[in-house]
Chain A
Amino acid sequence: MINVLVLCSLSAVLLVFTYTLGMYLESAGTTERPDGDGDGFSVVFLVPCLNEERVIAGTLRALPRGLVVVVDDGSDDGTAEVVRRVGGPRVRLFRREPPNARQGKGRALNHALRRLAEELPHGDHDRVLVCLMDADGRLDPGGLDRALPHFADPRVGAVQMGVRIGNRARSLLARMQDMEFVVYTWMFQRTRTGIGSAGLGGNGQIMRLSALLDLGDDPWSPSLTEDLDLGVRMVLAGWRTVCVPDATVSQQGLVSTRALAKQRSRWYQGHLQALRLVPSVVRGASGRMAIDLLNVLLSPLLIFVGAFMTLSLVASLVGVAFSPLAREQLIQPVPIASWYALTFGAAYLFGPLYARITGDMGRLRGLCYGHLFIVYNLIWLVAAWRGLWRAARGRRVWLKTERLTEPSPEHV
């Protein structure tokens, strides 16, 4: 029985690699351009924030023309003062006060959307787009121009822009996060766009107002990953969600492993909360879309497959260290090459892809980053156990990511 399960485990590695290879090949084609243009849409920028005095001024200055709604979810630093000081007439500040404040990002966004819907003239909500920007988000030049034409298709409810890490050149950890977003966007999101169910997350989500209102009074859930829930619910409501990888938005990358593990544990716990959407997917989706959504919702389980494989690898190394016979048998070219291929095979997909997309490094450097990226992903094992532990203890507080102080404009 154990041998059968061990074979299952090996087949898991091969299947996951095949799946990744399939995504890689499918995403290697040319990017489809929409037929229409982005004219005639008005964009409202929605900026939720909580204690963002370090970055909010830069965010507001960088946003292109259009109405900006800042939702201050009970900040006790100088966020509101900074918004009032640097925001011109186009910036609206919605403040949430205790006890309503700090009840989660989803509730803050719902509050803002309700007020926005009341204030906007009743009319063509199909032509109003809500662009969600976190306080560390910076739209890259031309990003909106590449994203908006996708809304010419009336079935498109939301567009997710590609996310890049702005400080990737200053920290290896930030570089790995950049690679994570690029690989996720160009390999997995592009393929999911073909199905019409690209995931929504973080900075650079642009949503059609009518699609948001279609989800009821509270489009965002109180979940820790309210954006994941929103994307799934929008697809189940009959809208298409697409990702436009070359329309990019930059954000801060975390430079401490501890902060990264904390952020990922929040994401992981949110992913666990999203499991409650599984019955809705079974009822409301079919075919490739159902498989895609179910795969995304159930994927937290796969991390534990990886956790036990890593444990197995560590135990094997201990075994090799203590057993001369094992050393004799395993420290041979074939076992070492097999282990390397199973562990680092995907680096040969991720590395060159990253080098090609970023265009600022050679293939060899990309390949080195590919190997580091495999090791970097071990952070998810820590995050998964921590997220599971927090979920088991019923802890759901918003573990907000701390921002770095931005360099002042004169030093940029």
Chain B
Amino acid sequence: MSGMTEATLLPVRATDVGATAFEVARLALAVAGLLFALYVIVLGVLALAAQRRHR
């Protein structure tokens, strides 16, 4: 009986691990996006500041 319960639980656990992994993947992608947006903003602001100093 207990073995059968274990067998039933395994696919559920695997699905949980899979769902968690996808959530981690999504979060990691979001952090990458945040860093890239920061990079573009900082580059843009500094380039504009350099341009203004030379006007």
Contact = CB atoms under 8 A, between A and B. Distances in A.
A5 B33 contact: yes
Interface in B10-39: 11, 14-15, 17-19, 21-22, 24-39
B26 A322 contact: no
B24 to A, nearest CB: 4
Interface residues of B, number: 33
A253 to B, nearest CB: 30
A389 interface: no
B21 A308 contact: no
A143 B21 CA distance: 53
Contact of B43 (A6, A298, A311, A324): A298
Chain B binding site: helix, strand, loop or mixed by DSSP? helix
Contacts of B26: 2, 6, 312
B32 A9 contact: yes
Given A282-B49, A286-B54, A301-B35, A309 B18 contact: no
Interface string A221-236: 0000000000000000
A282 B50 contact: yes
Given A6-B30, A281-B50, A282-B50, A315 B25 contact: yes
Contact of B47 (A290, A321, A323): A290
Nearest to B24: A315
Contact of B19 (A11, A312, A313, A323): A323
Nearest to B34: A5
Of B11, B32, B37, most buried by chain A (CB within 10 Å of CB) is B32
Contact of A315 (B28, B38, B42): B28
A331 interface: no
Nearest to A12: B36
B28 A305 contact: no
A308 B51 CA distance: 32
B28 A308 contact: yes
Given A278-B46, A295-B43, A316-B25, A12 B17 contact: no
Of B17, B37, B46, B51, most buried by chain A (CB within 10 Å of CB) is B46
Nearest to B50: A290
A341 interface: no
Nearest to B13: A322
A275 to B, nearest CB: 11
B36 A8 contact: yes
A286 B53 contact: yes
A294 B49 CA distance: 12
Contacts of A282: 46, 49-50, 53
Contacts of B35: 301, 304-305, 308
A9 to B, nearest CB: 3
A323 B18 contact: yes
A323 B20 CA distance: 10
A44 to B, nearest CB: 35
Of B24, B25, B38, most buried by chain A (CB within 10 Å of CB) is B25
B32 A322 contact: no
B32 A301 contact: no
5 contacts: A286-B51, A305-B39, A312-B32, A315-B21, A326-B18
Given A278-B46, A309-B29, 15 more contacts: A5-B29, A5-B33, A10-B33, A286-B50, A298-B42, A301-B39, A307-B32, A308-B28, A315-B21, A315-B28, A318-B18, A323-B17, A323-B21, A324-B11, A324-B15
- 6 interchain residue pairs of minimum CB distance: A323-B18, A8-B33, A9-B33, A322-B18, A319-B21, A5-B33
